Structure 1
Amino acid sequence: NAVAPGGIDTAMTSAPEHDQLKASIPLGRSGQPEDVANCALFLASDDARHITGETIDVNGGLYMD
């Protein structure tokens, strides 16, 4: 399994980049590191024991297909 993060707000993200990123995400907020971490924790848990070969996009709906 894999986690594919979209735009994540970190200390390396400048204010203009943050505003542009936030405006482009359907959920209306940029991702936080915790969003990616929570997905990884789920995949490592027994709750995901029957999930195999999947890539989970953590991007707030930015890339929907």
Structure 2
Amino acid sequence: MKHTRTTPPSHVVFVVEGEGDSAHWTRIGAAWPHDDGEGFNLKLACMPLDGRVVIRKLKPKDMEAGR
């Protein structure tokens, strides 16, 4: 699959270990919505073995901070 999209991602992908205030969030990738709005293309830097994968909408402050 060739990824030629030049638009910035709309979402950020994290792996979350733990619960509540003690949870540890690690950014592992980004997500772009499908043109039909029915799913996402993911680009991951790693694949977690433990924890849960969370996809969150990208906030403007995340882009400014280079996150």
What TM bracket, shorter-length normalisation?
under 0.3
TM-score normalised by L of structure 1: 0.22
TM-score by length of 2: 0.22
User: Larger strand proportion, structure 1 or 2?
Assistant: 2
